[in-house]
Structure 1
Amino acid sequence: MNREIRILMHTHWDREWYFTKDETKVLLRNHMQEVMEFLEAHPDTIYILDGQSVMIDDYLELEPEAETRMKQLIEKGNLRVGPWYTQTDLLLVHGESVFRNLYYGIRRAEEFGEPMLVGYAPDTFGHASQMPQIYKQFGIESTFFWRGFSELKAEKSDFLWKGVDGSEVVGVNLATGYQGAKYLEEEPKELSQRMKKIMSVLDNYSASNARLIMNGHDQMPIQKNIHHVMENIKQIYPEDTVMISDFESYVDQLDRDDLEVVTGELTDSKHARIHRTIGSTRMDIKLLNTDIENNLYNVLEPLAVIGEQAGIPYPHGVIEKVSKILFGTHAHDSIGGCNSDKVNQDIKQRLLNAKEMVDTQIELHLRLMTLGNKETGNTIVVVNPLPEKRSNQFVELDMLTRTKGFRIFDSNKEEIGYSVISQDQEDAGLIDRQVAARLLDIKVYRTKIVLPVNEIEGLSARYLTFEEVDGEKEEATRKSDESIYNAYGKLFVEDNVLCYKNEQTHAIYSNILSLENSGDAGDSYDYSPPVNDWVLNSKDCGRMAVEVVKEKHYQEMHINWELDVPENKGLREKKEANLKVDFQAKLRLYPNDPKVYVTMNHVNKTEHNRYRAVFKTGVQTDEVKVDGYMSTQSKPVYNEKPLSVWEKDKWAEKPVSIETAQSFISLKDKEAAFTVYTKGLKEYEVLDDAIHLTLFRTFSHLGQRELVNRPGRPSGIEIETPDNQLIDEPFTFHFAFEVAHDHSEESHSAKEYLTPLVGYQLKEFNRFNINPRNTVGKTSFKLSLELSGLVVSSTRLTAENELFVRLFNPQNEDITLSLPKAAFKATPMERKEEEVNRLTLAPQEIGNIIIQN
C-alpha cells in the first residue's frame, strides 16, 4: 500500500490544570516565540494552535508588539487558529455557551486571517449528539477528537457522525490520541520501533490510505528537528509519502460514500476515559457557572433588548467580557473541577467576578427602567424575558419600604393582591452610605412577596406603582404536620416520608422525594464506590421536622431533614453513623402550576461522601427522556451493551449508567409520567422506578489509581486536594418535579422554569447613586411569537443592534413559525441570509433569525 503519512504539528494547550492559567501564559509567550521563528524559517510548515483563539489573546497580552508578525503567519496559512475561543467541555456547559464559544473563537480568528473550520476537540470528555448540527451551522464539516469512540460505534475511526437532527459531519477519532506521535525520535532504530507501534494502530482503524500522525502533546514545544525525522521516516517506509499536513487535507482523502454512519453521543470509554461522573465534581463551581449562564442568557440579554427600546444602551462589552470569563472556565479540566486546589480557587473567584458583573448589570438595567417613570418614584417593573405571551404567572419581588405595609396598583390604579414570603427590618445606613454619612437613623423593611401576573406580552415590561401604608400585612399561618395542596396534587408527610397525591388520578406517591447518602472512594475525575459501601436513605436514617405556610398565592412546606451519617470513610467502613447533618428544604406549590418547586440548603460536614436526591416516580421503563443541547433525546436507563463487554474488552473505565442532562429528566409509561427539572444539577441515574439526582460528592485527591470503576493508572496526578472535601461549603439546590405530565412539553416547561418573570422595585436607598437618563421612558416594545411547541434558546442584539433569536424544535414533527416583518434567516455568526415570513424547523432542528428594528 502506498500510504500518505500526514504529520500534523500541534500543541495541546491546557490553560490550567494542576498549574494555573498565569503560569501557562508565561510559558505560551516562550512557546509562541519559538513557533513563529520556526515557521518563518520553514515556510512550508503548518502548525495547529490547538483549535482555540484565546491563545492569540493570551500571547498578545504579554507581547502586543508581535501582533503583525502573528497575523502574517496566520494569513499565509502557516499558523492555524480557531474555531473555538477556548477548548470547551461538550456535555456540562449550556448549549448557548457552546454556540458563543464558536462565535467568539471564529470572530477573533477572522481578525487575523482564515479560521480553521474544523471541530477540533482533542481531549473533551465526551461529545453531545447535537454537535454535528452545531458544527454545520458554523460551516464546519468535520470533527477530530480522542475520547468517546469504541468499535460499538464503528469499525473504522473515520466515519460519518449523524447528529440528533440528521445533520452529518465527518468524524475522525484520533486512534493513537492527540499525543500519539509526541517527541518523535530522530535515531533511526528507535524511530522505527516507535513508528511501527503507531502505524499498526492506524493501519487497523484508518478508512483510507492516509495516516494522521499527531505530533504534539500538552504544552509540548514545537519539534524543531521534524524535517530530519521525516527523512528518516521516508527511509523506513520508502513506498509511502511523508508530508506535513493539516486536518482539512486528511478529510479530503476520505470517500464519504464508503464511511460508516455513527449516531448518538460519543461517550464510549473503551480506548480513552470519558469520566462519566465528573458532572458531580466540585458542585460549588458547577452550580455557580450555571447560575451565571442562566442569568446571562435567560435574563440579562432579553432584558437588555427591552432596555434598548427604552433608551438604555445595550451592554455589548459587559456581555462579551462575562462570556469570555465563562469560556475560560469551560475547558474540560476547568469546569470538570479536576484541578489542583489552587486552580479551583482561581476558577471559582473568576466565576464570582463574572456573577458580580452580570447581577449588577441586571440590577442597573431594571433600575434605569424604573427611573423613567416621571409621575411617581414609587415604581415597580415586571419583565417577561421570553418572546411569547405568558398567562397565570407569578413573580417574586424584593420590596424595600419605610412602613411594614404597602399596596400595589396596576396601570389602571386597580389594587393587586400579593402574598408575603418574608419580612425583616434593616438599617438603611448599611444599604446607602449617604444615610450613615448624615448620621440619620432610618429603619426600613425588606419584604419578599409573590405577586400574581395574569397575562404579559412576550419580551415586554409592565409598570406598576406602590403606596406605603400604615399597618401590617397579615402574617401567613404556620403550622406543624400539615399538608399543602393545589388543584394538581397534595403534599403531605406520613411515616417519616414525603408523599404526594395526584388529584387527577388519585395515585399516591410514597417517599416521592428522599435523600441518599453513600461513600465515595473516587477522585476529581470519577465517583467510585468504596469496596464495602454503606448506602443510607433519609427514610431509615433521618427525621423530618415539618412546618407549612399557606398564603393566597402560594403554599409552602418547610422540611428540616436530619440524617445520621458517617463523618468519614473510616466510620463508613465500621457502619457507624456518628454525625447529624441537616438539609433544609422548602417545597412550594402555586395555584395554577403542576410543578412542585424545591429549594434545599445544606452545609457540608462530611468527607468521602456522595449525596443524591431520590425521586420515587412509580414509572418502570427502559428509556429516559432528557434534554441535550437544544434538543431532546431518549437514552437507555441501563447502558447494556457497553457494560456487557467492558471487562472482557479491557475498556479504560467502566461505562456506568450515570448520565448527563441539561435541565430535565423524564420517565413515562402507559399510565403516568414523571419529570424532574433542574438548575445546574445535571448528573442522574435511574434505578428501578427512581431517578437519582446527584447533589454533590466529596473526595481527597486529584487522581487515584485502581478505582472500582476505573482500574489502572490514576487520571491526572496523585496529589492531595483537601478543598475537594468541601467542608463547611454552603449549598443551595434548586429543582422541581411534576407528575402526570404531558410528555411532549418538557422542553418548553424547562425553559419557563429557568426563565421566570423578573420584577424590580425602584428603591429609596441604594448602594450607588445614578442619574436617570433623559432618554429613558416606559417601553412599549414587545415580541410575542406563537411558538407552537418551539423553544427559544436565546434572545439578544447582534453587534449591529438587530434582534437575534435562536430557537429549536424538540418535538417529533415539523413546526412552522410565523415571523414579523423584516425577518431573516441567519447564521450563528449573526449574518443575514434570505428574508422570510415563516420558518419551518424539522424535529431537533435549530433555527437562527434576525429581525430588523
Structure 2
Amino acid sequence: MSKKIAHCIHHTHWDLIWYFTVQDAAVQFSYNMKEMIRGFKDGKIVNFFMDGQTAPIDEYLYMHPEDELYIEELVRSGKLIIGPFNSQLDCFISSGESVVNNLRLGIKTARKLGTISKIAYLPDSFGHSYDFPKIFNKFGIKDFVITRGVGDSYELGNEFYMESNDGSKLLVCTMLSGYGYGCYAFKEGILFEEEAKDYNKISVKSLIERLLKFSTVQNEFVFPLGFDQNPAILDIPKKIEFYNKKQDDIVFKLTTWEEFCNHVRAEGKNLQTHKSELFSTQYHRVHKSIFSARSDIKGLQDRCERILTYELQPLMSMLDSLGIEYDHGIIDKAWENLVKCQTHSSANLTDETNNYIERETKNVLNLATSAKIYLMKLVSISLEKDNSESYPLVVFNTLPEKRRIIGSFKILTKTPNFKILDENGDNISFTVVKSIKKNCGVLRKDAELIDYSKFYYETDIVFKTCEFNGISYKTFSVIEVDEASFNLFTQYDRFIENNRYKIYQNQDGIVIHDKKLDLKIEKAIYIEESGDEGDSFDYSYPDHDLILHDYMDNSDVDYRISKEISIMKIKGKMLIPSDLSKRKTKICDDEMLYSIQISLKKDSDVIEISGEVDNKSEQHRVRIVFRGTSKNEYSYAGTQYGYIKRKTNPEELKIWREEKWFEEPSPTFPLLNHVSMVNEDYTVSVFTRSSKEYEFIGNNFSDISITLFRSYGALGYPDLNRRPGRPSGLDYMVFSTPECQMKKKNKFELALYFNKKYDANKITNAYVEYACEDSYYQKQDFDKSINPISYFPTNPLSKPLPRSYEFMEVKDLDGSFGTIVKSDLSESYILRLYNNKNHPSSGGELIGYNNGKEAYITDMIDELEIVDVSNKLPEMNGGELRIIKIKK
C-alpha cells in the first residue's frame, strides 16, 4: 500500500481580541514577530502563513517601523504570506461593503509590502456566505480555505467548489479536523502516541482518518502546523525528518496553501459543487445564535455600515466631482477600525473586551458622522448667494434613484414662525412636531443679566421634498415671517393610516390592514419572552422554561396624525421572572416596560417600527414577532449581494443528538438586512437597522421572530441543551459577564414591507431607502452644539457652489445600489450595483455625471477595463455583482 502524504502548512491563527485585550495580543504578537524574524535570519523557518490577515502586521509595523524593510523582503520572496483580508470577519452579518473593504484594506497592505496572497483564508469563521464566490472572484481570488460549516448532508469531500448564483466559483479546501488538530502533538514529539489528542480531546489518529475518508486526493491530507495565538515553530524540517524516519505509514512534507490548492486542482477526483451557504453544525460549532449576543453593539455596527455605504461614500464622491477632494484617509480609517470590530466572534466576549469593541465602534460612528456633517456644512457655507434673507437648508439624496424624501428636520430661527421655499420659490408644506425657545447668549445665574436679544427657536418639523434626480442636493430657503402656515400633529383615537395601510389596536391586539392586497392580519405584532440558559456564544433553552407573550391588547395607545406622517405610540409592560430560578417556579416578579412607535409616511409602502425595552431581569431572551397567516417551509433572507433560501424546520433537528453533532442545527439565523415570509397570497419582509437574528416560529412556522436582545451572564458554559460538551472559548474556564445581562433600555429599529410576490430587487431597494438616514444641513449661527463639529470655524470654498447639483442617476435599474466610491488607484469613481434575482434583469442607464465620460465594467483589485459601457449598461446576469469604473 502506498504511503499517505501529510501536507504540512506552517501558520498561526491570530485573534485580534478575545477574552484577552487588544493590548495583550499586540504585546504577544510583537515578541512573536521578533522571534520569527530571528528564525528566518537563522534559517530555522522556511515559510509562514499569517492567518490570511494583515491587521496584526499593520499594528506591528506601526510600533516597529525598523523592521519594515526586512518584512517587505520576506513578503516579496513568498516566505511570509499575508492577506488578502485585513481581519477575520463575521461572514453573515458583515455587510457587502464590510467584506469588500476588509479585502480592499488587506490587499492594500499586502500590495505595499510586495505580494498579495490570493488564498481567501477564514479558518475560524462560523460558517460562510453564499455570496463569497462572487465577491472573492472580483478580487481575483479563486481559492478558499475554511474549517467550520461543512457537514455530511452537503455530500461534499474535503475539497469542493462553491458557486454563487452568478456562476462565480471558488475551490474550497476544508480543514475538517480543525486548523491545529495535531500541532501540539507534533511539537512535543508524541504524534503517534495514544495521548496525542486535539483541543476537543479527540485522538489525532481518528482526525487524520476523518480527513483521509473525505479527501479528494487519495491518501493525502493537510496537516496544519499552528494554532490559536501560536508563535512560529522553529526547525520544522528537522521535526519532519524525525517523523518520516520514525514510521513508514505517512510522509510529511512542508508546503503552502497555494501549492496545495494547485495540487488539488490537478489531482483531485470527483470534486462536487455546492450552491448555497456553508452553515452545518455537525463537525464544528458555528454558534447559530451568536448574532443576538450584545445586540446593542451589533446595532451600532449596522449603523456605521449604513452611514459609510449609503451616505458618506456617495456624498464624498459627489462633492469630489465639484472639487472637494475625496478623503481616502477618513474612509480607510473608518472601515479599518470597523472591520477589526466585526471579527468572527464580534461582541460575544468578556465585558472588558466588549467595552473596547463598543468604544471603537462608537469612534467609527463619530468619525463617519463628523465627516458627513463637515461636508454638508462646507456645501452650505459655500453656496452661491441668493437675494433673499434666508437660512439655506441643504438636503442631500445619496442614492442614485429618483426620490421624494419625507424627513425629520431641526430648524433654527430667530422668530417662532417661518416658511420654507423650494428652489422654484414655492412654499413647502410642513408639520411642526415641537418648538422650543432657547438662548444662545452668555449664560448667567442672575436672570437680569441675560441678553434676551439672543433667544431663538428650535423647531422640529417633518416635510416631504420635491423630487431628487439620483445622487444630488437641493437648497431650500428657511425664511422668518410674522405669521406662518404650517400643520400640527392632531390626536386621534382610532387608527393611523396612509394610502397603503391602516393600523390600529382592537381587543385582541394590533391589526395591520394592507388595503392594496386586501389583507388584514390580527395580532400582527407581539412580544415573546422566554428563558435563556446560554452564554455569549449561544442561546440555549432552559430545562424548565416559561414562555410568555404580550399581544399589546391591553397596552396604552396614542395615535397622532399629520399630512406627512402618522404615528402610533404603544406603551405597555410584561410581568416576567427575574431569573432562571424564578422562571423554574413560574414566579413573575419583575416588570419589563416597553414602548413601541409605529410610523406611516405618506405614500410609503414601508411600516417603520422602533422602540425600546427596559430590562431589569437576567438570563432571558426577548423577541418581537410579526405574525403571518400561512405555512412557511422556507425563509428568504438578504445576503451581502443577493438572498438565501433557508429551511424553517431543518430535517437535521431529528438526528443531531443521536449522531453526536457539535451543536443543534437550530433554525435561528443571521439577519443581515431583510428577511421575508413568502406564500401564494402575499410576501411580508422585515427590514432591520438594529437587530441581527431571526427565526420562524408558531404553527406551521407562520411568524417571523426577531431577537431584540439576549440576557446572559457568562462567556462559555459547558453542556448546554443546544450545545453539548465543553464550554466554547476556553475549555476549562467560564468568564463572568454581568454587563451582558443587558439591564438597561434596549433599543431597536425595524420595518415591515408587504408585496404580492417576492421580488428580491424591489425588496432590497426598499430596504436600502429605509437604511438611509436623513442628510441635511441648515446654515445658522444660533447653536453650534447640535453638530459639535460646527463649533470649528471653516472657510468657504474659493469658488461658490451651485445651489442645486445632480451628480449621478442610474435610471431604470432592475437591481440594487451597492455604493459609489473614489478609486484608490486612479482618478475614477467606482460604482457597485448588483442583481438580487437569479435571472437576468435590466442594467439601467447611467445619466448625469457620466455623460461624455468613459465607463467600464471592471474588477475590484486592479480595475481592469473589461467591458466598455460608456453608451449603455448591458443587461445584468442573474446574481451579478457589477463593478463600474467611471473615468473622471
Shorter-chain TM-score: what band? over 0.9
Given the alignment, which residue of 472, 494, 501 partners 1:460?
472
Q: Secondary structure, in 3 states, of the residue corresponding to 1:232?
A: helix
SS of the equivalent of 2:317 reads: helix
Q: Which moved more, 1:379-388 or 1:158-167?
A: 158-167
Query: Structure 2 vs 1, CA of residues 727 and 223 (structure 1 numbering), >3 Å: closer, same or farther?
Result: same
Distance 2:806 2:269 in 1: 51
Residue from 808, 820, 823 that aligns with 2:855: 823
Higher mean C-alpha deviation, range 126-135 or range 222-231: 222-231
Q: Which residue of 1 aligns with 2:200?
A: none
How big is each residue's C-alpha offset from its partner over 1:615-656, in whole Å with a ceiling of 9 and x where there is no partner? 01223221221110110222212122x213211211000011
Confirm or deny: 8 A CA contact 1:748 1:789 kept in the other structure. Answer: no
Matches of 1:355 and 1:217, distance apart in 2: 34
The match for 1:731 is 746
Match of 2:361 among 351, 354, 364: 351
Asked whether the 8 Å contact 1:276–1:659 carries over to 2, the reply is yes
Residues 249-648 of structure 1: pairs in structure 2 closer than 5 A: 249-254=259-264, 255=267, 258-333=270-345, 335=346, 337-373=347-383, 374-375=385-386, 378-390=391-403, 392-428=404-440, 442-471=454-483, 476-479=488-491, 481-495=493-507, 497-539=509-551, 543-640=554-651, 642-648=652-658
Structure 2 counterpart of 1:149 = 150
Task: Compute the displacement of 1:219 (Å).
Answer: 1.0
The question of whether the paired residues in 2 share the 8 Å contact of 1:479 and 1:548 is answered with: yes
Report if aligned partners of 1:186, 1:232 keep a CA contact under 8 Å in 2.
no
**Distance of aligned partners of 1:569 and 1:446 in 2 relative to their CA distance in 1, 3 Å threshold:** farther
Partners of 1:150 and 1:563 in 2: CA distance: 41
- Per-residue CA distance 1:379-410 (angstroms, 9 max, x = gap): 011111111222x4312212122222210001
The CA distance in 1 between the partners of 2:835 and 2:481, in whole Å, is 49
| CA shift for structure 1 position 205 | 2.0
Aligned-residue offset at 1:377: 5.5
Quote how far apart the aligned CAs of 1:483 are.
0.5
**Aligned partners of 1:581 and 1:534: how far apart in 2?**
15
Distance 1:788 1:608 in 2: 47
1:60 partner amino acid: L
CA contact (8 A) 1:419 1:551 kept: yes
* 1:707 matched residue in structure 2: 720
Q: Which amino acid aligns with 2:614?
A: V
Q: CA deviation at 1:275?
A: 0.2
Return the letter of the residue paired with 1:610. Answer: R
Give runs of aligned pairs for residues 43-122 of structure 1, distance below 5 A: 45-122=46-123
When residues 656 and 671 of structure 1 are mapped into structure 2, their CA distance, relative to the original with a 3 A threshold, is same
- Alignment partner, residue 851 of structure 1: 886
- Separation in structure 2 between the aligned mates of residue 187 and residue 481 of structure 1, nearest angstrom: 76
- Matched with 2:869 is 836
Provide closer, same or farther for how the CA distance between residues 589 and 771 of structure 1 changes in structure 2, counting only shifts above 3 A.
same
8 A Cα contact 2:442 2:450, kept in partner: no
Residues 267-314 of structure 1, C-alpha deviation per residue, up to 9 Å, x if partnerless?
Answer: 101111000000100011101111111111111111112222333222
Mean CA deviation greater in 456-465 or 561-570? 561-570
Shift of 1:757: 5.2
Deviations 1:237-258 (CA, angstroms, capped at 9, x unpaired): 4475432111111112224562
Question: Does the CA-based 8 Å contact 1:789-1:811 persist in structure 2?
Answer: no
Q: Using the TM superposition, give the Cα deviation of residue 110 of structure 1 relative to its aligned residue in structure 2, in angstroms.
A: 0.9
Q: Is the 8 A contact 1:666 1:675 kept in 2?
A: yes
C-alpha deviations, 1:680-722, integer Å up to 9, x for none?
A: 3221111221100111111000110111111111101411110
- Alignment size in residue pairs: 844
Match of 1:690 in 2: 703
In 2, Cα distance between equivalents of 1:419 and 1:632: 38
**SS state at 2:74 partner:** helix
Q: Following the alignment from structure 1 to structure 2, what is the Cα–Cα distance between the partners of residues 575 and 441?
A: 62
The answer for the alignment partner of 1:750 in structure 2 is 767
Answer yes or no: is the 8 Å Cα contact 2:212–2:220 preserved in 1.
Answer: no
Contact 1:796 1:803 in 2 (8 A): yes
1:217/1:426 CA distance change after superposition, 3 Å: farther
> Which deviations, in whole Å up to 9, do the C-alpha atoms of 1:581-614 show, x marking residues without a partner?
2221111112211221112123322211211111
Instruction: Supply the AA of the counterpart residue of 1:754.
Output: A
1:611–1:429 Cα change, 3 Å: farther
Distance 2:395 2:624 in 1: 33
Q: 1:506 to 1:260 in 2, by over 3 A?
A: closer
In structure 2, do the counterparts of structure 1 residues 126 and 421 end up closer, same or farther at CA, with 3 Å as the change threshold? farther
Whether 1:794 aligns to 2:804 is: no
C-alpha distance in 2 between matches for 1:192 and 1:41: 31
Q: Partner letter of residue 848 of structure 1?
A: I
d(CA) in 1 for partners of 2:739, 2:766: 36
Deviation at 1:188, TM superposition (A): 5.7
Query: Is the alpha carbon distance of 1:469 and 1:282 closer, same or farther for their aligned partners in structure 2, counting shifts above 3 Å?
Result: same
Structure 1 alignment gaps of length 5 or more: none
Q: Could you tell me which residue of structure 1 aligns to residue 736 of structure 2?
A: 720
Letter in 1 for 2:591: K
Once the two structures are overlaid, the 10-residue window that deviates more, 611-620 or 520-529, is 611-620
Q: CA RMSD in A?
A: 2.3
CA distance in 2: counterparts of 1:190 and 1:386, whole angstroms: 58
Q: Secondary structure at the match of 1:380?
A: strand
Instruction: Note the residue ranges of structure 2 that are not aligned, 5 or more in a row.
Output: 197-203, 786-790
Q: Secondary structure at the match of 1:581?
A: strand
CA distance in 1, matches of 2:188, 2:577: 58
Cα 1:742–1:200 change in 2 (3 A) is closer
Q: 1:203 aligns with which of 205, 209, 212?
A: 212
Cα 1:425–1:537 change in 2 (3 A) is: farther
8 Å contact kept, 2:527–2:623: yes
**What letter matches 1:664 in structure 2?**
H
User: Residue 179 of structure 1 contacts residue 214 of structure 1 at CA under 8 Å; is this kept in 2?
Assistant: yes
Per-residue deviation at 1:178? 0.7
Match for residue 678 of structure 1 among 681, 685, 688 = 688
TM-aligned CA deviation for residue 186 of structure 1: 5.7
Tell me the amino acid that sits aligned with residue 123 of structure 2: P
CA distance in 2, matches of 1:44, 1:731: 51
Q: Secondary structure at the match of 1:14?
A: coil
Measure how far apart 1:741 and its partner are: 4.3
Equivalence for 1:777: 801
Alignment partners' CA distance in 2, 1:316 and 1:727: 39
Equivalent residue letter for 1:732: K
For residues 119 and 191 of structure 2, the distance between their equivalents in structure 1, rounded to whole angstroms, comes to 33
Is this contact kept in 1: 2:627–2:704, CA < 8 A? Answer: yes
| Structure 1 position 41, deviation (Å) | 2.4
Counterpart in 2 of 1:664?
Answer: 674
What is the SS of the residue equivalent to 2:467? Answer: strand
SS at match of 1:781: strand
